[in-house]
Structure 1
Amino acid sequence: MKSLIRIATASAICAALMAAAFPGYAQLPATAAQRPAPVHQHVTARAAGVSDAALVKSLPGFSNGYAEVNGVRLHYVVGGKGEPLVLLPGWPETWWTFHKIMPALAEHYTVIAVDLRGMGASSKPDNGYDKKTMAADIHELVKSLGYEKASVAGHDIGSAVAFAYAANYPQATDRLVMLELPHPDDSLLSFPLLPPQGNVGDKLGSARPYLWWFAFNQIHGLPEKLLAGRVGLEQDWIFTYFLKNESAIDARDRAVYEHAYNSIEAIRASDGWYQALPQDVVDYRNYGKLDMPVLAMGGPAYGWMKKVISQKATNLNAVEVQDSGHFVQEEQPELVAKTMLDFLQATHD
């Protein structure tokens, strides 16, 4: 009898927890409530809410597009009027990272926010994640949309791809905007394996950031096994570490990024961007000077960016974004949009 009571009590507790986690569970018949269908339906409904179709609806004047270029299928979101401005996102985000600045930019430019090779709804091939190849993807996309020349802006990994685009296709580059990351160069090879003395904090202070994931993402096969289905844990750590204002990337934004990276395939592909860094360093050594106007905007990475990019850009405008962490376009969108527009619309020196 006591055993039956314990079983009944455990079942009641389980039912209460399920009812709290999944509204409507308690109203199901007992046999149906024991099935996994409500969980699946909950996940499916959540995924639908963060789909590209749902996200684009919140940005009037924008639409989804797809293009087969350079052996991959790229997803992009396009809207606005005027000359083309290509936006390239970074890890661990998607095109959605630019949603706060896209409407302001679209008043003056045809904005094309792209999911890079391996990102979001774009293809996730086994290779081609060096930034030179990814820049070729973007060049082919620009041509497929009927443009001979475009301004290109990128954040994080997207910033490195934007630089590679300008370096390899200067004739197709009007202006270059780089946010929070230079192209990988030899200085990347000197990043410490161990952090400074003392424990790694959960917030980036004034010290040099400890970029442990640069090494973690080098390992083939392991990260996706550890993180698939729980990538939100890693992303929340990254956002906490790099955001000054954590509400700048809200619950919906985080759901978008978690959904985009939560599979084995997506994690493997995004790791490819990091596994290609040694090749990116080699490619950088062979790049010449950039003659087009270049804008470098940085928060924590400002000093590093200015030092590295000034070695290659002959016409550099470097701007430090105050009161912001790594995700400047989400923490300081009005400043970033205004600075970009001022730069893009300025006459050539």
Structure 2
Amino acid sequence: MKYTDAELIKSLPNFVNNYDEVNGTKLHYVKGGQGEPLILIPGYPETWWAYHKVMPILAEKYCVIVIEMRGMGSSGKPADGYEKNNMAKDIFELINKMGYEKVHIGGHDIGAHVAFSFAANFPESTSKLIMLDTPHPDQTMYQLPMLPVLGANYLYPWWLAFNQVKELPEDLLEGRMNIVIDWLFKNLLVEKSSVSNFDKEVYEFAYNKKDAIRSSNAWYQAFPQDIEDSKTYKKLNMPVLGIGGSGYGMLEMSLSNAAIDLQLKKIEECGHFILAEKPNETAKFIVEFLE
């Protein structure tokens, strides 16, 4: 099957698949390169494959470890534990197993939520934090409109509410996740061709089953608790980089209040999936920040 981890990894020389048990679940991660450890976490509706364009670039200087978080891809899909501070604990236990005391960590979309929570809960283990187009959930999420705003130049994020519903999404979408995946990439990309049909098939393969839909929706269903947890977090002291395409404004607003040592980089004419649309620019900003 061309969409399995074993087949996909063949296109990335010097990277290998790994699997480990931590914090009551299994995590799959892809590792390659040498140097300081750089943890990267993907978001919805993607898998570790979201980073495939930047992994070889970053691996020239860093040991790149792309982790499929709890509920994603080949990682475990337990019934609970999707609060971002617990998912950060998954990552913390994994890096300890790998023998790292301190890492650089970054994430995109839901993965950015987990990366931020890791930095907030385990600052002594965080060298630098990279947030890609998405801030951690906070109280402003409650202000998102329940209906599209008439005449506004604003993409109504209906899936945030839809994914809150239990059981119904997996009943409706089992075997049909291509409908959602196609819609999201069509509407959240500026350069539509930057995510190929093959890329979308990789993600459909990962998300089409009931347990995959249930567990990925659980990331969203944990938002109320994530928002409460965010109220307890102190300002981050480590260097933080925010790289934004369409999400730059949200990143700027959120991180300006959350980090003391902050850099912000805007990628022009780019949608939400900056790793796919602008991989070279994104990788360049990351390398410059880490150096």
Unaligned runs of at least 5 residues, structure 1: 1-47, 199-205
For normalisation by structure 1, the TM-score amounts to 0.83
Residue identity opposite 2:260 in structure 1: T
**2:277 is the alignment partner of 1:324:** no
Question: Aligned-residue CA RMSD in angstroms?
Answer: 0.8
Residue identity opposite 2:105 in structure 1: V
Following TM superposition, by how much is the alpha carbon of 1:246 offset from its aligned partner in structure 2, in angstroms?
A: 1.1
Q: Secondary structure at the match of 1:266?
A: helix
* Counterpart residue number, 1:8: none
Give, in whole Å, the separation in 2 of the partners of 1:209 and 1:123.
32
Give, in whole Å, the separation in 1 of the partners of 2:16 and 2:72.
18
* Counterpart residue number, 1:89: 42
* Counterpart residue number, 2:101: 148
Give, in whole Å, the separation in 2 of the partners of 1:90 and 1:312.
21
* Counterpart residue number, 1:210: 156
Give, in whole Å, the separation in 1 of the partners of 2:99 and 2:49.
24
Q: Secondary structure at the match of 1:207?
A: coil
Residue identity opposite 1:226 in structure 2: L
For normalisation by structure 2, the TM-score amounts to 0.99
Q: Secondary structure at the match of 2:111?
A: helix
Deviations 1:213-236 (Å, cap 9, x if unpaired)?
000001110000000001001110
Unaligned runs of at least 5 residues, structure 2: none
* Counterpart residue number, 1:65: 18
* Counterpart residue number, 2:149: 196
Residue identity opposite 1:183 in structure 2: H
**2:50 is the alignment partner of 1:104:** no
Following TM superposition, by how much is the alpha carbon of 1:209 offset from its aligned partner in structure 2, in angstroms?
A: 2.5
* Counterpart residue number, 1:162: 115
* Counterpart residue number, 1:280: 226
Give, in whole Å, the separation in 1 of the partners of 2:243 and 2:155.
17
After TM superposition, where is structure 1 displaced by more than 2 Å over at least 4 residues in a row?
206-209
Residue identity opposite 2:70 in structure 1: R
Give, in whole Å, the separation in 2 of the partners of 1:95 and 1:229.
21
Following TM superposition, by how much is the alpha carbon of 1:207 offset from its aligned partner in structure 2, in angstroms?
A: 2.2
Give, in whole Å, the separation in 1 of the partners of 2:164 and 2:223.
9
Tell me how many residue pairs correspond in the alignment.
Answer: 291
Give, in whole Å, the separation in 2 of the partners of 1:65 and 1:234.
29
* Counterpart residue number, 1:297: 243
Q: How does 1:230-241 map to 2 (within 5 A)?
A: 230-241=176-187
